[in-house]
Amino acid sequence: MRTVLYLHGFASSPSGRKIALLREALPASEFRLVAPDLNKPSFQKLDFDAIVHAALAAAKGSPPDVVVGSSLGALVAIAASQSGLDAPLVLIAPALGFGPRWLEKLAPGDPVRFFHHGQGRELEIHRRFFEQMAQLKIDREAPAQRVAVLMGANDESVPFDGVSEVWQRWEASGQLAKGSSFTAIPKGDHGLVDHVGLIADAIRSSMTTG
């Protein structure tokens, strides 16, 4: 039995569609999918450090063979790895190189409102979270662990070029672990729910690549 720690994205939840599809693609007889709620301490008061703490707590309770991070969850996965979580990473549509874009096109005022896909309705969230995210530098260096990135060329939320630039910088540094890979999905959007098979393959591969 292999344990997969799945870290969902912004305004999502452990009951997201992609997680549900992954549960179908990864047989329960072989894989245990652990997906903590990362809306910490709450969506309204979301805090990146609290999110990372929740991920680390879940990993302590169920040590993972691989950590899968989607969008914001990919940054959480990287931060957790920098805090000692030692497992291969599979990053789906990762918010790499996003930086100040967290504040671009953000509605004025505080709090602001976003549609929360986990709850199916708009919720308020404080502006401080986006200011915090805009200052993050955790993707400056390549993770020490083996990492696989899957990125849709038609991603409508995270610019493909920004993610590609971060990957190229990681490659140029010579610090990427052996077996790391970048997969561009030509018609992939941000959700990549139509490409769950590729994600499942990457998860399996991350557990077998030496």
Q: Rounded to whole angstroms, how far apart are CA atoms 5 and 95?
A: 18
Q: What is the pLDDT of residues 21-53, one digit of tens each?
A: 999 999 999 999 999 999 999 999 999 999 999
> Do 84 and 60 contact (CB within 8 A), yes or no?
no
> Pairing relation of β-strands 31-34 and 112-116?
unpaired
Give the model's pLDDT for residue 158: 95
> Do 67 and 88 contact (CB within 8 A), yes or no?
yes
Among 24, 122, 130, 5, CA closest to 70: 5
Q: What is the pLDDT of residues 5-26, one digit of tens each?
A: 999 999 999 988 999 999 999 9
Domains of the chain by residue range:
2-208
| Two structure tokens written together for 22 | 């992954």
Residue 173 pLDDT exceeds 80? yes
Q: What is the percent of the chain where pLDDT is above 70? A: 99
Give the model's pLDDT for residue 170: 97
Residue 201 pLDDT exceeds 70? yes
Give the model's pLDDT for residue 16: 86
Q: What is the percent of the chain where pLDDT is above 90? A: 93
Per CATH, the number for 2-208 is 3.40.50.1820
Q: What is the pLDDT of residues 113-164, one digit of tens each?
A: 999 988 899 999 999 999 999 999 999 999 999 999 999 999 999 999 999 9
Residues 6 or more apart whose CB falls under 8 angstroms from that of 154 comprise 160, 186, 187, 188, 189
Residue 105 pLDDT exceeds 90? no
Report, as an integer, the average pLDDT of 80-97: 96
Of residues 188 and 207, which shows the higher confidence score?
188
Residue 195 pLDDT exceeds 80? yes
In which band, very low, low, confident or very high, does the pLDDT at 209 lie, cut at 50, 70 and 90? low
